[in-house]
Amino acid sequence: AGDLASMESIIKNGVTQLVWVETPNNPNWEVTDISSASELAHKAGAKLIVDATATPPTMTKSLDLGADISFHSATKYLNGHSDISAGALSFNQQSSMYENLFTIRKLHGTVLNSQDAFLLIRGLRTLFLRVEKNSQNAMLLAKHFNNHEFIEKVLYPGLETHPNHQIAKHQTNGQFGGMLSVIVKGSQTDAINVVRACKVFYPATSLGGVESLIEHRKTVSGDDFPVHENLIRISAGIEDPVDLINDLEQALDTVFKRKGQH
């Protein structure tokens, strides 16, 4: 994400049919300029699909920025309560690709059951309020732990020091989402122990819910995925931000006091 030069070098005119962009990307939260990516894809005769799961449509309207298809894991922010599995594709026009996918979905039965559909509709009713609070809490966490004595780096597009901050600012409504990552000083074991020491954050892999989640990313993704071994991914929920800040502070203190680094 964010590297348009690399994207341009990979796209082949008349050969590439679909360009898939995840923005911001997980777990480094680098932001791709959707309008520029759209120009590159369309110039080569390809369609652009944007995985905007981390920036739901109350924040970013990918289709208005030039994407042909917008993808969301509805399991995450759209539902917001971590109790269904679903996905959504939105098209900017009723194209042949849309017709083909619609037919496949209809014939193969890949549709939500009525209960999950009900729960998704319930979640959508509070989407704006939830995402606003998710974003506020993530920003407060990012600002508090930026330049922290036990944190090497905070990865969050809402910080002005983030290399893609201006792009993110242009593509959103002023919110930057509830996802951030922190790279903990020390060893990989220290990072794992910080996650284990949290009491308010739930140690889990999903995101976008009302509850705050935390995970040591490399433990989840494995060695084949290029991620910093000390990176901790956070999905900020809608709890009192003071509780979240205090919880991560006590977890860091617990780990680094034990090592005699306080």
**What is the CATH number for 225?**
3.90.1150.10
Same domain, 98 and 136: no
Residue 1 pLDDT level (bands cut at 50, 70, 90): low
Q: Give the pLDDT score at 259.
A: 73
Same domain, 147 and 104: no
Residue 262 pLDDT level (bands cut at 50, 70, 90): low
Same domain, 235 and 165: yes
Same domain, 232 and 200: yes
Lowest mean pLDDT among 71-85, 93-107, 117-131: 93-107
Tell me if 19 sits within 8 A of 37, measured CB to CB: yes
Per residue in 80-116, pLDDT (tens digit) is 999 999 999 999 887 888 999 889 888 887 789 999 9
Maximum alpha-carbon separation in the chain = 63
pLDDT at 120 over 60: yes
Q: pTM for the whole thing?
A: 0.93
Tell me if 207 sits within 8 A of 177, measured CB to CB: no
Per residue in 20-66, pLDDT (tens digit) is 999 999 999 999 999 999 999 999 999 999 999 999 999 999 999 99
Containing structural domain, residue 234: 127-258
Same domain, 116 and 42: yes
Rounded distance, CA 145 to CA 195, Å?
Answer: 15
Same domain, 119 and 140: no
Same domain, 117 and 152: no
Same domain, 215 and 254: yes
Among candidate residues 124, 156, 179, the one where a domain is terminated: 124
Which of residues 159 and 225 earns the better pLDDT score?
A: 159
Q: Give the pLDDT score at 42.
A: 96
Residue 169 carries which DSSP code? Answer: H
Among candidate residues 124, 141, 164, the one where a domain is terminated: 124
| Residues in CB range of 233: below 8 A, 6 or more apart | 26, 27, 179, 180, 181, 207, 214, 215, 217
- Report residue 162 as tokens: 């983030």
Q: Give the pLDDT score at 261.
A: 63
Per residue in 205-221, pLDDT (tens digit) is 999 999 999 999 999 99
Same domain, 118 and 203: no
pLDDT at 149 over 60: yes
Per residue in 229-251, pLDDT (tens digit) is 999 999 999 999 999 999 999 99
User: Into how many domains does the chain fold?
Assistant: 2
Rounded distance, CA 37 to CA 5, Å?
Answer: 10
- The domain that holds 60 is classified in CATH as 3.40.640.10
Percent of the chain past pLDDT 90, that is, above it, reads: 85
Same domain, 101 and 54: yes
Same domain, 98 and 190: no
Same domain, 81 and 161: no
Tell me if 58 sits within 8 A of 30, measured CB to CB: no
Q: Give the pLDDT score at 186.
A: 95
Among candidate residues 124, 153, 182, the one where a domain is terminated: 124
Measured torsion, CA atoms of residues 94, 97, 100, 105, in degrees rounded to the nearest 10: -80
Tell me if 85 sits within 8 A of 206, measured CB to CB: no
Average pLDDT, rounded, for the chain: 95
